[in-house]
Chains A and B, each alone.
Chain A
Amino acid sequence: MASKLSENEDFEIGAVGDHGLSVTSRGKDRLTVVAEPIPEPFGLDELDAILSAYQGCEAIILIRRCPDVEVVETARARGVLVDTFGNVTGALESRGPMRDFQNRDEAYLRSRLQRSRYVSDVVRVGFGAWRVERSGLRDLVIITSARYEFPVDDLHELLGQNPNLEPDAVVVTNPYANGLSKRVVDAAVQAGMEIYLLNDFFGRLARQ
């Protein structure tokens, strides 16, 4: 992981303990920790253990691993970003607090949803997973994909990345998305979820 981060010429990397990396970039020295790559979801207990062992940790990288329900939100409340390698790298390159990092897809999703009069807040609850809080209506939990294509395997992967989440809907947010295949629509229905392209999701926001 350190060698991969070192490919970025703006980063100076140092090891901290067994799993910590001190990354100096833009004059800031920030501590990130790489979680053990085990098959189980990354849970609250592990979050507590890491934050206790690595004081000042600002980000936790999950490689081929998913966060359990509440972990992303709890970590953010404690000032910590829990995310993929790509997003943590993006956060290290940014000037602001790492916990506030939004990649381009997230920024786009937020900007679109928050224009709806029904949406009061959008809270990140997993990898590509969000709780859409609405005024006077119940929250909706959605998982999103920003790719041009959304084949059924991507749906399975998204659900696999958020194994204990029960989403109301899956939303394809890419404005140039190439429609939805019959196979992916059938799979979403079978999984008990609604499925939308982003423009069509706005109609759903108005309904209970």
Chain B
Amino acid sequence: MSPLIDRWPDLQRLVELAEEAGAIQVWLFGSALRSPSPRDLDVLVVYLDENVPRTLRSSTFLELLSPPIDLISMTPDEVDELNFLVTVPATRLYPRPSTDRAVAGKMAQETIREVREQERL
């Protein structure tokens, strides 16, 4: 299990919910990567089915968690177009990342490309 998930068990629950709902990827970014006591946990969920973020918002009181989870959800093409994972340091929580950061980033981009290709077909 990721040490970040160990530190904040609510993240584990969110990752499980995201996986059940059909999310493609879940990333942690923002101050939680730098501080053991961040004001909130910034989480990116990558999805294709627009019900995924809806399900996550309705499944849990994100605002009331400690620390609260600030969720942002993007489709793969938005992640690409906004260069999100290029400009923002992030750690992948789901699917479980490779320990090598460069490999993890490459795998993430490949996963997104594969999903987009499936979408086109």
Contacts and interface: CB of A to CB of B under 8 A. Distances in A.
Interface of A: 1, 4, 7, 63-64, 84-86, 147, 149, 151-154, 156-157, 178-179, 181-184
Interface in B28-77: 47, 50, 53-54, 57-58, 61, 63-64, 66, 68, 72-75, 77
Given A152-B78, A181-B82, A147 B64 contact: no
Contacts of A147: 72
21 contacts: A1-B64, A4-B64, A64-B57, A149-B72, A149-B82, A151-B74, A152-B78, A153-B47, A153-B50, A153-B53, A153-B72, A153-B73, A156-B50, A157-B53, A178-B83, A178-B84, A178-B87, A181-B77, A181-B78, A182-B77, A183-B81
B72 A64 contact: no
Interface residues of B, number: 22
Contact of B61 (A7, A63, A154): A63
A86 B68 contact: yes
Contact of B72 (A4, A85, A151, A184): A151
Interface of B: 47, 50, 53-54, 57-58, 61, 63-64, 66, 68, 72-75, 77-78, 81-84, 87
A79 B64 CA distance: 25
B75 A152 contact: yes
A104 to B, nearest CB: 12
A151 B84 CA distance: 11
Contacts of B75: 151-152, 183
A183 B78 contact: yes
Contacts of A184: 78
Most-contacted residue by chain A among B57, B78, B84 (CB, 10 A): B78
B63 A84 contact: yes
